Structure 1
Amino acid sequence: MSTSNYRKQALALAISAAVFAPLTVAQDAAVLDKVQVTADRRVENIQDVPVSVSTVSGENLDALASGGADVRFLSGRTPGLNIESSFGRAFPRFYIRGYGNTDFRLNTSQPVSLVYDDVVQENPILKGFPLFDLEQVEVLRGPQGTLFGRNSPAGVVKFNSVKPGEETSGYAKVSAASYGGVNLEGAVGGGFGEGWSGRVSGLYQHRDDYVDNTYTNEKDAYEGYDEFALRGQLRFESEDFEALLGAHYRNLDGTARLFRANMIQAGTNKPVSGFDRDEIAIDGVNEQELTQFGANARLRWDFDGISVHSITGFETVETFSRGDIDGGFGAAFLGPGNSGPGFIPFASESADGIPEHSQWTQEFRIESNTDAALNWQAGLFYFNEDYKVESFSYDSLAGGTQDGYQRIRQTNDSWAAFGAINWDISDSFELRAGVRYTVDSKELTVEDYWNNGFVPCFLLGKCTLAQLAAQEPDGDLSASPEDKKFSWDISGTWKLNEDVNLYARVATGYRGSSIQSAGAFNAKSVADPETSTSFEAGIKADFWENRARLNANVFYYEVKDQQLTAVGGAGNANILLNAEKSTGQGFELDFQAYLTDNLLVTLGTGYNDTEIQDKNLSVSVCAQCTVTDPLDTNGKALIDGNALPQAPKWTHNLTARWGMPVGDGGEFYVHTDWVYRSKVNFFLYESVEFTGASYVEGGLRVGYNWNQGAYDLALYGRNITDELAILSGIDFNNLTGMINEPRTVGVEFKAGF
């Protein structure tokens, strides 16, 4: 074990020791609040739900979001959750228990579903909506195919906004941080008679550019952004009816992800000597723009013994992101001194965008609301998405002139019928079960295509749509798969006593077919639907007179025909394929306790061992990295036995908050949070350079609040050790990587009412 890895593992062990050592002496500690979740589409105590679920809320959520962080700050903050991106703030990729999707295309799907205020956010760009004025975040691990539907075989991440109420309430928050960071956030809401209430909340985030371009000698050229988001809600409540209407808006103007050519030292997974995160040398354009709007209507009618729900959602987004993909300048064929840093085989500059998009969802659900031993719910769901994706290529060696274009259109229609029961068989045993039938159809067509750059048909001159079709094995650029699937789950909860529950769950889920359009470097590819089956058993316990809480489980899952994306290789292809099977197994633990009246500690740990099982599956490998997999006769890597990409075996997270009362209604406090992630593979094949090293990252917040917590003034730091981590890479004939956020420090003031 290297010295660096030893230090990181030692820190993780020290964190665990610091948590558990004081437990035998904890006396007269405060009491933990009950946590309410909606994992089963009903509001329930988290301890009663037979599924592995974690939450992030309150002060922990505020601390993690300090400094203008986007949704990726949640990565590792609950066991088994990883989030990364090659699009920066615009397009996060979620993984639960190592199960996710590394595909960067704008028409891709993910096996982790994101639900914002009861409305699914299907397109990957929609998943990056900023987090503000939230009640809590829920992470549901394992298949959620019965009540949340397709594309949730790995789990669901739910964001729940603060709802309007009759009482006037709100807050205002302002902070200033490193790199000219400014963060403004606030909300106000309350009732205005006759059952009506409303709430408006908003967010503005800014950061200056701080990365210099040493090729153009431009100072402070990249990594800045301006982001604005707004949410409005209107609520009406009567004795037997509730309506909650909402609308939200987002605008982002910033820079795309920076790809750093040859930043990885050959033969290692470390940055090259002298690497400076504040510098880059590129000859392409870098920009990113995004506009999103959505609205929803959540209605509930209460009748004698039943409730009827209607949830209508609409989302639309436009985005454009352009970046220098080769991560450097020039090209090797121009001669010595005319390219760099390191080896640049050829220039590549591209952009992707969504010029048109619409998503409509409609759910009708009816549920029993009695105190009977048997309760049930059933419903219908409809999903429609219609959008276009544009891809551009540019010649960096000719001043960035456009030399290629493609426009595709994809439509997706899906409908489902579902039902579930909760049956209290006895005072100590409850059975839950559910089933869902889904019909899912997609259609993709290539509407326009031309390319006169470095592509397989460049000898013919300008590539056209007809020439592209001629390269297809079947001569057809369109695809229209249709899938019909059953999903089901069954679970049991055994109540040992009022404070301890044991549970077991078996669940299935599926993800519909995916389509990769034909392009310059690859033919059209279609991945068949994947199905997952998960087995889970655990314990949920409150103890020490509700001063401590423990949730722990073991799990095993199998994914048949898992959709994988083979990206890059010497041919720079991007193709879809299905693995015969993949598996994951491990355990998770969530622990929180008041060790003293003034010290609250939370600890999360996850172990997850994933494996691809397909003896005949091979993928193209990189041109410059050190591949450690066996190769077939065509020089491709045989990936049977490899871990899934971006799937760390270990994740640990810790928070600790200590407070000291000061005067009448005041408090001085210290809050710290730490996250550990073990090494990960970036791609399907294994190599020395494209293995992300383990890392530890921490935050610190020191503050004073007064007037019973209504006002708060704090100093904070994110990534306080200034850890430099390579989070992902680009397999582009060299050793290009992407890194984490730098250390930021700031001051924040919050006033609540």
Structure 2
Amino acid sequence: MSSRSAHVRAPVVRPLVVALATLLPAVAMAQESAAQQAATLDTVSVTAARKSENIQDVPVSISTVSGEKLDALSSGGTDVRFLSGRVPSLNIESSFGRAFPRFYIRGYGNTDFRMNTSQPVSLVYDDIVQENPILKGFPLFDLQQVEVLRGPQGSLFGRNTPAGVVKFDSVRPSQDFEGYAKLGYGSDNMVNLEGAVGGALSERWSARASMLYQRRDDWVENTGSGPNDGLEGYDESAARVQFLYEGDNFQALFGAHARHLNGTARVFRGNLFKPGSNDFVDGFDEDRIAIDGQNHSELDSQGANARLVWDLGDYRLHSITGYETVETFSVGDIDGTAGPYFTADVPFASETADGIPDHSQFTQEFRVESQYAGPLNWQAGVFYFSEDYDVDSVSYDSTNGSAADGFQRINQTNDAWAVFGGLNYQASDKLELRAGVRYTVDEKDLVVKEYWNTGFAPCVLSAKCDLAGLLAAQQAAFARGDAVDPFLSAATKDKKFNWDASATWAINDNVNVYGRVATGFRGSSIQAASAFNEKTVADPETVLSFELGMKADFWDNRARVNASVFHYEVKDQQLTAVGGATGNANILLNADKSVGKGFEIDLQAWLTDSLLVTFGSGYNHTEIKDPTLAVAPCAACVVTNPVDANGKVLINGNALPQAPKWTHNLTARWATPLGDAGELYVFTDWAYRSAVNVFLYESREFTARSLTEGGLRVGYSWNNGDYDVAVYGRNILNQIRATGAIDFNNRTGFINEPRLLGVEFKTRF
């Protein structure tokens, strides 16, 4: 057994004690007189209201990640999931590895794994919404800041924001020649290379080019008969180029970016859990697996954008144009075993692939904002979104040399337009009022273009089993211009009015309190029929959220605390019933409603001139409220919910899936001068999430245990920070936990990454 393979039930307090122990040396050296303290916190600017503002003045629960903290979290070469738990109430997981992150804010997200799914958390990268879940995995490098906006953002942001928005903003070009280069090397021959260079091209033009290269050897050995000897390795590269024109009353920022990923897909581990328990099976070793199917992932994406701004005196006009395209293919051994099949542990083999062979997304926004000197200002705009793509789903027979035994290609188009506006009114020196509105029309059209299946998987489509015949009839109807059989295709059209309103009261120059009421909306979703389930359509979901908050700077600007309490109710929430005893199903459902309530707190403080500490915590209580909603039970687990007369599991009262009740994060940085313009520093970061329910029903096996991950970085920087060298560790406790599961076959799950150690050098110029 690997030295990393121990899976012992330890008290929750133990990781926290270890985390605190790493701080003791720093604390011991930090006992200085308060009179000598001079370090203060920098002002943090955010664009939560589509313009730059002090975070303390914005009536929204917001957390940011930037600078050294962002560098430290990303030092292990990991993908966007490294942000999970690093701010309150944020969870990120994936059953596709690096390619398809699923975001949850305040417990509100979507577990759907199909490539045409939507999510209630919107991701906006350089002002362009990344709607398809594959686009949301674009690597993070050369970033100015990450912003996490919690709660509905349905007025000012363009797509699917009822749970919140995650914003990534790249470093913009400037007239100053500057850049950096960073090289890291770590466990399993991990290489993390990143750099950027930029400066003036002329008095008006400047440019910046950025790049990223990451690779890692396979760290999981395959002892089965499959074509992969090793798994979990990857080779990824990405680049971005930007050109900025700055005129007297006009500014234009043009950008283009691309990504290439070649590696293995998510490693599914069959029969990972002991029957009747969420303990890993005896002999579990995260370094080894036995599978007989394929495992591979490829991804290429490109995009371009143009952001134009005209300064017209009392008004400012914005035009934001974006284009994104992605092509991907990912195949995995979903049963996570090498047989023998048709047994209690492995009822049948499952080896499947999903891909997007063709995709395009176009967005256009025009927005005008006032720049009055008086107390009243406003903004208004129009937004257009158009997406057209194909999705391929393939199944293979692991018992016959991975020969293809099923194929489906769908096409989905999604066109939407919206008009929106916002109003700010400074009613008095103490009171500011804000309001926003948005009207959206959202249309989707899904067509099955091709389908065949010769495998052993049972057809559950009753009288409609002949999908090939139905498809032929459908194509003939297209040719004649007749109506299409609604069994294979679906079209939806949703119209929704959203609004929000807030009030901020300045208790004094350093303390604000605010209240906010906001609504959100996510359009209908469609999933095509397959060998395991009929086509399903989920109606649109809406959310109403209430939030109270406080933002304060204190201790002579050496400390800052932001806190909020919230309650939201989602009507007709779209849920995904994944798997179950009926097979590899992906069925869309609408719950009558679900509710969430809780709080967040963000704290930063210079405890001394040498010691900066940050702490964040989020509490999220979520609950499905639908007495009649039932889903298929698992094939090989112990369900703890009641079962109805049809043998289905009633999920009323359950928490939303992947919704941890608690999230905590902690960082501490201690430094001391060493040498001429140099310093020795220690940086540690910790993230904790409580146990999560993986599926809609509750079971003993599929309740993922709490997870604590910590990082430690010890380094030396010199020449006023122009050079930096450090050794670091990620997941230094080497705590291995299940982060998700697959439910259709056996007790299959997947895990977080083990401990990684490395060294890194960075230079700025």
- Alignment-derived partner of residue 179 in structure 2: 170
- Rounded to whole Å, the distance in 1 between the matches of 2:250 and 2:610 is 42
| Counterpart secondary structure, 2:12 | helix
- Alignment-derived partner of residue 372 in structure 2: 370
- 1:16-55 alignment, distance < 5 Å: 26-27=34-35, 28-55=37-64
- 1:73-472 alignment, distance < 5 Å: 73-216=82-225, 221-333=230-342, 343-457=345-459, 464-466=467-469
- Alignment-derived partner of residue 4 in structure 1: 10
> What letter corresponds to residue 40 of structure 1 in structure 2?
A
- Rounded to whole Å, the distance in 2 between the matches of 1:8 and 1:618 is 38
- Rounded to whole Å, the distance in 2 between the matches of 1:194 and 1:50 is 39
Among candidates 694, 701, 708, match of residue 720 of structure 2? 708
| Counterpart secondary structure, 2:10 | helix
- Rounded to whole Å, the distance in 1 between the matches of 2:121 and 2:34 is 39
- Rounded to whole Å, the distance in 2 between the matches of 1:460 and 1:526 is 20
- Alignment-derived partner of residue 574 in structure 1: 586
1:3 CA drift (Å): 5.8
> What letter corresponds to residue 174 of structure 1 in structure 2?
L
- Rounded to whole Å, the distance in 1 between the matches of 2:309 and 2:237 is 31
- Alignment-derived partner of residue 565 in structure 1: 576
1:10 CA drift (Å): 5.2
- Alignment-derived partner of residue 683 in structure 1: 695
Among candidates 539, 547, 564, match of residue 553 of structure 1? 564
- Rounded to whole Å, the distance in 1 between the matches of 2:674 and 2:21 is 28
- Alignment-derived partner of residue 519 in structure 2: 508
Any conservation in 1 of the 2:227–2:292 contact (CA below 8 Å)?
no
Among candidates 647, 652, 655, match of residue 659 of structure 2? 647
Among candidates 638, 646, 653, match of residue 626 of structure 1? 638
- Rounded to whole Å, the distance in 1 between the matches of 2:417 and 2:27 is 49
1:211 CA drift (Å): 1.1
1:461 CA drift (Å): 14
- Rounded to whole Å, the distance in 2 between the matches of 1:727 and 1:466 is 41
Any conservation in 1 of the 2:642–2:649 contact (CA below 8 Å)?
yes
> What letter corresponds to residue 515 of structure 2 in structure 1?
A
Describe the superposition over 1:704-751 as per-residue Cα deviations: whole angstroms up to 9, x where unpaired: 000000100000100011110100001122110100011110000000
- Alignment-derived partner of residue 478 in structure 2: none
Any conservation in 2 of the 1:451–1:462 contact (CA below 8 Å)?
no
Q: Check 1:91–1:504 CA distance in 2 against 1; reply closer, same or farther (3 A cut).
A: same
- Rounded to whole Å, the distance in 1 between the matches of 2:758 and 2:229 is 20
1:466 CA drift (Å): 2.1
| Counterpart secondary structure, 1:165 | coil
Describe the superposition over 1:326-373 as per-residue Cα deviations: whole angstroms up to 9, x where unpaired: 11013433x7xxxxxx81111110100000000000000000112210
Describe the superposition over 1:184-242 as per-residue Cα deviations: whole angstroms up to 9, x where unpaired: 10000011222100000000000011211111398851111100000000000011000
- Rounded to whole Å, the distance in 2 between the matches of 1:110 and 1:467 is 31
- Alignment-derived partner of residue 660 in structure 1: 672
- Rounded to whole Å, the distance in 1 between the matches of 2:46 and 2:21 is 28
Any conservation in 2 of the 1:29–1:595 contact (CA below 8 Å)?
no
| Counterpart secondary structure, 1:646 | coil
- Rounded to whole Å, the distance in 2 between the matches of 1:381 and 1:315 is 16
Any conservation in 2 of the 1:97–1:141 contact (CA below 8 Å)?
yes
- Rounded to whole Å, the distance in 1 between the matches of 2:144 and 2:511 is 26
Describe the superposition over 1:518-572 as per-residue Cα deviations: whole angstroms up to 9, x where unpaired: 1110001000000001100010000000000000010000000000000111002
Any conservation in 1 of the 2:325–2:360 contact (CA below 8 Å)?
yes
1:304 CA drift (Å): 1.6
- Rounded to whole Å, the distance in 2 between the matches of 1:8 and 1:686 is 27
1:460 CA drift (Å): 12
- Rounded to whole Å, the distance in 1 between the matches of 2:298 and 2:228 is 22
| Counterpart secondary structure, 1:90 | coil
- Rounded to whole Å, the distance in 1 between the matches of 2:32 and 2:61 is 27
Any conservation in 1 of the 2:183–2:192 contact (CA below 8 Å)?
yes
- Rounded to whole Å, the distance in 1 between the matches of 2:229 and 2:418 is 51
1:536 pairs with 2:538 = no
Q: Check 1:296–1:3 CA distance in 2 against 1; reply closer, same or farther (3 A cut).
A: same
- Alignment-derived partner of residue 339 in structure 1: none
Comparing 350-359 with 264-273, which one deviates more in the overlay?
Answer: 264-273
1:23 CA drift (Å): 11
1:266 CA drift (Å): 1.5
What TM-score results when the alignment is normalised by the length of structure 2? 0.94
| Counterpart secondary structure, 2:399 | helix
> What letter corresponds to residue 418 of structure 1 in structure 2?
F
- Rounded to whole Å, the distance in 1 between the matches of 2:65 and 2:354 is 33
Any conservation in 2 of the 1:592–1:601 contact (CA below 8 Å)?
yes
| Counterpart secondary structure, 2:490 | coil
1:635 CA drift (Å): 1.1
1:583 pairs with 2:586 = no
> What letter corresponds to residue 502 of structure 2 in structure 1?
S
Among candidates 60, 69, 80, match of residue 71 of structure 1? 80
- Rounded to whole Å, the distance in 2 between the matches of 1:17 and 1:616 is 50
- Rounded to whole Å, the distance in 1 between the matches of 2:571 and 2:32 is 46
RMSD of equivalent CA atoms: 2.3
Q: Check 1:525–1:76 CA distance in 2 against 1; reply closer, same or farther (3 A cut).
A: same
Any conservation in 2 of the 1:642–1:685 contact (CA below 8 Å)?
yes
1:525 pairs with 2:528 = no
Any conservation in 2 of the 1:165–1:197 contact (CA below 8 Å)?
yes
Describe the superposition over 1:627-672 as per-residue Cα deviations: whole angstroms up to 9, x where unpaired: 1101100111110000000000100000000001112210000000
1:701 CA drift (Å): 0.4
- Alignment-derived partner of residue 627 in structure 2: 615
1:7 CA drift (Å): 2.7
Any conservation in 1 of the 2:449–2:471 contact (CA below 8 Å)?
no
| Deviating 4+ runs (over 3 angstroms) | 8-27, 217-220, 457-464, 467-471
Q: Check 1:679–1:87 CA distance in 2 against 1; reply closer, same or farther (3 A cut).
A: same
- Rounded to whole Å, the distance in 2 between the matches of 1:512 and 1:559 is 13
> What letter corresponds to residue 4 of structure 1 in structure 2?
A
- Rounded to whole Å, the distance in 1 between the matches of 2:713 and 2:84 is 19
1:289 CA drift (Å): 0.1
Any conservation in 2 of the 1:208–1:224 contact (CA below 8 Å)?
yes
1:454 CA drift (Å): 2.0
> Where does structure 1 lack aligned partners over 5 or more consecutive residues?
336-341
Q: Check 1:24–1:411 CA distance in 2 against 1; reply closer, same or farther (3 A cut).
A: farther
1:677 CA drift (Å): 0.4
- Rounded to whole Å, the distance in 2 between the matches of 1:168 and 1:199 is 9
- Rounded to whole Å, the distance in 1 between the matches of 2:22 and 2:426 is 38
- Rounded to whole Å, the distance in 2 between the matches of 1:20 and 1:372 is 49
> Aligned residues: percent identity?
66
> What letter corresponds to residue 693 of structure 1 in structure 2?
R
Any conservation in 2 of the 1:451–1:463 contact (CA below 8 Å)?
no
1:14 CA drift (Å): 5.6
| Counterpart secondary structure, 1:199 | strand
- Alignment-derived partner of residue 60 in structure 1: 69
- Rounded to whole Å, the distance in 2 between the matches of 1:506 and 1:694 is 32
- Rounded to whole Å, the distance in 2 between the matches of 1:505 and 1:436 is 16
Comparing 447-456 with 313-322, which one deviates more in the overlay?
Answer: 447-456
- Rounded to whole Å, the distance in 1 between the matches of 2:155 and 2:22 is 36
Matched length: 744
Q: Check 1:583–1:449 CA distance in 2 against 1; reply closer, same or farther (3 A cut).
A: same
1:26 CA drift (Å): 5.0
1:470 CA drift (Å): 10
- Alignment-derived partner of residue 501 in structure 2: 490
| Counterpart secondary structure, 1:357 | strand
